[in-house]
Every structure is written in structure tokens, then in C-alpha cells.
Structure 1
Amino acid sequence: MAAQMTDAHRRFLQVLMSHGIMEGSEARKLHKCCCEIHKVYYAHDKLDHFITTINSHLQPLFMQIRKGMSEGDGRAHYALVNLAETEITKLASDYAENELELFKKTMDLIMLSENGFASSTDILNLADQLKTKKMKKKEAEQMLKVFVENKWLSERNGEYTLHTRCIMEMEQYILTNYPDTARKCNICHTLAVQSQVCESCGTGMHLPCVRKYFKAQTEPRCPQCNTTWSCDIPGACLRDSQSPSGTWRAEKSFTLSAR
């Protein structure tokens, strides 16, 4: 039998729903705040257990709070994902047909690139090639801002990649539709868009996973085929290109209806 949902669980879920995705440290603070407000048992190392209880009640709704990793810096994130639809059409309710087509074509550029990024120039050049309805470049520029605000894309110096939320939400769709370029990280076993790949066997790893795995090795070797790793090992500090914007608030005045 599933553990009982408390008002602390409901508050946590509602705040996460309003953000879509939350960085791990923020989720831990929110966990503590919710437990303190509703005077329920709190343990700093029980966040995942706390979320498991919520997920047991979300299961009939085909929803799940999923834990993932930012490809920019390796930090943990938590996102509420829809399991009922794995197709990109789950975005259709939020965007017009040509906006959705622009997103699909942007994803194509990112997934077919060597580094997991697409330049704004290349994306904007697609605006007048859309089959549904052509866009002006200014309209396309505005849509890119919307995709970033809604945490489907991340932007850094005019280069776009998939946001952590998008990767977590669309993982199965991406693996199915980009079989030649999409791969799971050999270390953490989640989808790797920005990655390094072994030239000998094709094993891929996230950049943060590469850094951690080879940290203590004087001669880095592929964990799969044991050949010398030919790529440069990323430095200790990777810029966080995908940290979600915004902050959460869980004021005592915020109430949730009991179920």
C-alpha cells in the first residue's frame, strides 16, 4: 500500500508543478520548508523517499517526478514529467503548428550536431522554410526566447541546446527518433546530448561524467573497450548553461486543498 500523502507532499508537488523543473539544492530546501510548515517528519537525506511517496499517487495519472542531471555542470534536477505521451505532440497544446515545427527543426539541428548545440543563425535560417506557415526572423527570435523561458531550450552566447527539462521529458522520443546520434551515457545511463564519444567503440559519456570518471586516472581509458580516451578531459569547472531560471517560494500563506 502506498504511503499516505500529506499536505507537505501536496505543497511540494504544487510548487514543483509551477516551475516544471527544480535544481537539487532548491528541491532540498523546498522539502524542508514544506515539512516544517505542515509539521511533519523531516530528514535531510529523505528527499528521494519523500518524492517516492508522491510518485506512488501520481502513477495512476501517468505523471512522475523524475531525477536527472544538468549536462552543463552535472547538478541533480527534479522535474515533473508526463508519462502518458512520449511524442513531441505533448507540446502541441502550448504552441501553434509552425512554432512546433520550428522546435522540431531546432531539435534536429541540435541532435545532428557534433557538440549538442545549434547556432541562432542556423535556427533563424529555418524560419522561412517552415512547411506549416513561414515565420519572419523576428518572430522566430521571439519564439526562441519563449522556448528558453519555458525551459525547453537553453541558450549560451548565441548557441542553443536542449534544456535539462526537455531531455528528462523527451528522453524516449529522442532515443527513438534519433537512433544514429542519440545515446545513453555509459556512466549514469541517462540520455547524453552534450557528450564525448570513444572513437573505437562509440561509447558516449556526459562531460561531467567524463570529468568525474577520469579524475583519478593518469591514462584515461574507455570504460567499455579499454582503449585510450582520445578526447580532451573537461576542466574542473563547467559553466552551467542549463540552470533553470526563477526562484521558488513556499510562503505560509500558500495553501493547498486537502484530498
Structure 2
Amino acid sequence: MVYGKEHKKVLQSIMHEGAMDENRGKELISKLFGHTNTVQVLGEINAKLVPLHMIIKHINCEVTGQLYWVWTSTMQDKVASFHPEFSQAELALLRNIFSEIVTSNNGHASSTWCLNLCSSLNQKLTKANAQEFLHEMVNRKWLFCKDGKYYMGVRSIVELLQYFKDTYQENLQTCILCKQILFYAKKCDQCHTMTHVYCLKNYAMTRGNSECPNCHYSLSQHDHSSNDINSAMDIDKSDSEIDEVTEPSHKRSKRRH
């Protein structure tokens, strides 16, 4: 099919949202093209983006598993950069939250920790302004929030991956199934293998049982009272609310600045 105005409308919509829910994307493509062959349409758009060093990538939310389409550059910088509309204090807060998520044992930063951090920044930020800023970061998919905890957003995973690799290489883990870097994962109690939540769910559906993809540690060995896959592959639950944010955790590896 010839690249036309329909393709441009899809691209403009993804660019506007930054990260588009695939379900919404399918509805848009169905409306514009009369079919839901998203692979074909996105492939045609990406073919036009190659000379511009841009691409639309597929990425799952690490918490919900929901698939998103993210418009991003194929030439990533080592430095995390954002729109100048944000203040230096807000960006410092965000970088510290990224650091907490990457270096923690549980893949998230508590809202209490994030707000307490405001008073220790070189450029002070009120908690009210911080809450408004974080709400905006969640809306723009740079962060994901659930139950008072902030996780890595799909846009951060795609657009800032090189920054994370260069800054936190010693802290990064890889999913045993898809071999991609992960920030939030299920951890096997037996062999400590890390797996994306959605990868593990798909693996369990394919295999017909709930077990670790690496050591095959089964659910029955771990918890006879539940058939939930989350019981066999669990997260480190050391999720204490941290008030003193200026002292680094002794559990963290050293990272390059």
C-alpha cells in the first residue's frame, strides 16, 4: 500500500501521545484503514522513519503487561534529557527516582520516599509541586504508578535505555525468557532468576504449569495454598517506607555517574 495521509495520522497520534495503548492504536488503524493489520501499517510507517533515525517500538508495561507503541529515536544519547518546560529541581527529582527504581531490590520507589526526597534536593521543590510533576510524568508514560508506588514507565524503558545502560550497568538485570533488560520482575525464590511478569504469564500458559523457566521450581514446592503464579515467582518484599533519603542503601552496587 502507498504511504498516505492515513499513515501520517497514525504517526501523528503516536507522536502526540508519546506512548499509545495498542488497543487504542488498533481502533485508530481500523477506522483509517478498514482492517487491524497493525504489523503491516507500523512496518510501512517505520520504513519511512528509518532515514530520520526514528522508529515506533512495541513495549509492554512491566506491571500490567499492556502493550504500547512508543515513538523514539534510534540514536539514543547517554544523558537523560527532557523538555525544557520542566525545572531543574523537577528533573533532579526524576533522576533520583530513576536511580531508586534501578538500584532497589523491588523495582519501584514509594511515593513517600519520592516526596521526602524534595527537601534534600539542591534546588528545593515543594511536595505539592512534586506531586503535580509526578502526576504529569505518569500521564506522559515516563513513570507508572500503582498502590502508592512508582515504577519505570514504558517511555523511559524505550527512550532512556542507553542512559540506564551507561549509568547503572552493574545494577541492570535481564529477563530469562525475552533476554531484555528489566526493572520490575518476578524473582524465583530458588535460583533468583528474574522474569518479566507478562513473560512469565505467557510461559505458564504455554507450559500449562507454574514453574521457574530456569530451575523449574514449581508452585507446589513453594505454596500449597495457592494456584497463583505470583506465589512461585515472587518479588523481594522489602518495601519499607524510607524517610532518610540522603543515605545510600548498603545493598546497592556502586554505579557510575
Instruction: Measure, in 2, the Cα distance between the counterparts of 1:180 and 1:210.
Output: 24
Residues 186/214 of structure 1: CA separation in 2 closer, same or farther (3 Å cut): same
Matched, 1:149 2:147: no
Matched, 1:228 2:243: no
Question: Aligned AA for 1:17?
Answer: M
Residues 218/141 of structure 1: CA separation in 2 closer, same or farther (3 Å cut): closer
1:196 Cα deviation from its structure 2 partner: 2.0
On the 8 A contact 2:80/2:160 being kept in 1, the answer is no
- Name which structure has the greater RCO, CA cutoff 8 Å, separation 6+: 1
Residues 219/79 of structure 1: CA separation in 2 closer, same or farther (3 Å cut): closer
Residues 9/201 of structure 1: CA separation in 2 closer, same or farther (3 Å cut): same
Instruction: Measure, in 1, the Cα distance between the counterparts of 2:171 and 2:88.
Output: 26
1:5 Cα deviation from its structure 2 partner: 1.9
Instruction: Measure, in 2, the Cα distance between the counterparts of 1:75 and 1:124.
Output: 28
Question: Aligned AA for 1:174?
Answer: F
1:65-88, CA deviations, whole angstroms, 9 ceiling, x for partnerless residues? 001112223222111112333334
User: What secondary structure is seen at the aligned counterpart in 1 of 2:112?
Assistant: helix
Match of 2:70 among 47, 58, 79: 79
Question: Aligned AA for 1:207?
Answer: V
RMSD of equivalent CA atoms: 2.5
User: What secondary structure is seen at the aligned counterpart in 1 of 2:72?
Assistant: strand
User: What secondary structure is seen at the aligned counterpart in 2 of 1:85?
Assistant: coil
More helix as a share of residues: 2
Hey, what does 1:184 align to over in structure 2? Answer: 174
1:135 Cα deviation from its structure 2 partner: 1.4
Question: Aligned AA for 1:234?
Answer: N
Give the gaps of 5 or more residues in structure 2. 232-257
1:165-187, CA deviations, whole angstroms, 9 ceiling, x for partnerless residues? 22122223223322233223222
Instruction: Measure, in 1, the Cα distance between the counterparts of 2:148 and 2:88.
Output: 25
What TM-score, normalized to structure 1?
0.76
What TM-score, normalized to structure 2?
0.77
Hey, what does 1:27 align to over in structure 2? Answer: 25
User: What secondary structure is seen at the aligned counterpart in 2 of 1:72?
Assistant: coil
1:10 Cα deviation from its structure 2 partner: 0.5
| Greater Cα shift, 181-190 or 60-69 | 181-190
Instruction: Measure, in 2, the Cα distance between the counterparts of 1:15 and 1:109.
Output: 32
User: What secondary structure is seen at the aligned counterpart in 1 of 2:57?
Assistant: strand
Matched, 1:159 2:149: yes
Residues 112/89 of structure 1: CA separation in 2 closer, same or farther (3 Å cut): closer
Match of 2:54 among 51, 54, 63: 63
